[in-house]
């Protein structure tokens, strides 16, 4: 796959089109309502700083938490937003988040920040920032999971780090583009050899024993949870024992 192929596929995905349209609308409203340009700039900067921290908290404590699958009314949500993605990290149907889940999350993270800085103009600017940042994250997420070999060293590096999260130890390297929160909170690891391979890397702790106790995700899947996706091998960049990802 070339970068052009990847980019075309990325822009044909409906969620990206919705994010882009809403970002343009939000940015237009922010400019129309703006009274102080400096406040808008401050809002964008603060929202850009808050977003990676919010993503880290959501990813680590909610998506990787073990409480959503234990309740029948949230099992389907957890299955869609993260379990399916870890069961088979290269399955394109679940590579992107669903709009029903992502849009409320982006709004909850960004709108209060923007409103606190500059009222409705700030809220619109912060929402636009969150939507654009989500688009950026999703683009690099595609690079990390699709059959594309990055030419830039830093892109290859973040791909390696993210694939280690999926194929070696899920309790670390929660970032996609920014791994600063991982460094701040002690969940960053530079090489796979720094940690033993997790036995829950593909099922996030929802193993057969848990599935028997809390069967709702297994019932929705139609099959027992797997420790390893079929045909995984080193496909698409699985991190081998030596600690370097096959990019």
Q: Where are the domains of the chain?
A: 3-221
CA angle 67, 73, 77 (to 5 degrees): 70
pLDDT tens across the length of the chain (247 residues) = 899 999 998 999 999 999 999 999 999 999 999 989 999 999 999 999 999 999 999 999 999 999 999 999 999 999 999 999 999 888 877 888 889 999 999 999 999 999 999 999 999 999 999 999 999 999 999 999 999 999 999 999 999 999 999 999 999 999 999 999 999 999 999 999 999 999 999 999 999 999 999 999 999 999 888 876 555 544 444 443 333 333 2
Counting every residue written for the chain, the total comes to: 247
pLDDT of residue 78: 96
The pLDDT tens digits for 50-78 are: 999 999 999 999 999 999 999 999 999 99
C-alpha span between 42 and 30 (Å, rounded): 13
C-alpha span between 81 and 101 (Å, rounded): 8
């Amino acid at each position: 796959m070339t970068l052009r192929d990847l980019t075309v596929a990325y822009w044909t995905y409906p969620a990206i089109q919705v994010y882009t349209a809403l970002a343009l609308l939000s940015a237009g409203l922010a400019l129309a309502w703006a009274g102080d340009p400096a406040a808008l700039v401050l809002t964008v900067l603060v929202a850009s700083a808050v977003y990676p921290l919010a993503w880290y908290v959501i990813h680590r404590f909610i998506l990787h938490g073990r409480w959503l699958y234990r309740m029948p009314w949230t099992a389907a949500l957890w299955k869609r937003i993260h379990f399916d993605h870890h069961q088979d990290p290269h399955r394109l149907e679940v590579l992107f988040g669903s709009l029903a889940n992502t849009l409320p999350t982006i709004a909850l993270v960004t709108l209060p920040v923007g409103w606190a800085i500059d009222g409705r103009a700030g809220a619109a600017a912060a929402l636009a920032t969150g939507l654009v940042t989500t688009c950026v994250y999703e683009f690099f997420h595609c690079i990390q999971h699709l059959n594309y070999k990055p030419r830039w060293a830093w892109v290859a590096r973040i791909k390696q780090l993210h694939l280690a999260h999926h194929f070696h130890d899920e309790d670390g390297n929660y970032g996609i583009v920014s791994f600063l929160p991982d460094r701040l909170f002690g969940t960053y690891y530079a090489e796979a050899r720094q940690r033993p391979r997790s036995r829950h890397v593909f099922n996030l702790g929802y193993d057969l024993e848990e599935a028997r106790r809390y069967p709702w995700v297994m019932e929705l899947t139609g099959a027992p949870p797997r420790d390893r996706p079929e045909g995984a091998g080193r496909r698409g960049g699985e991190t081998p024992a030596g600690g370097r990802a096959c990019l």
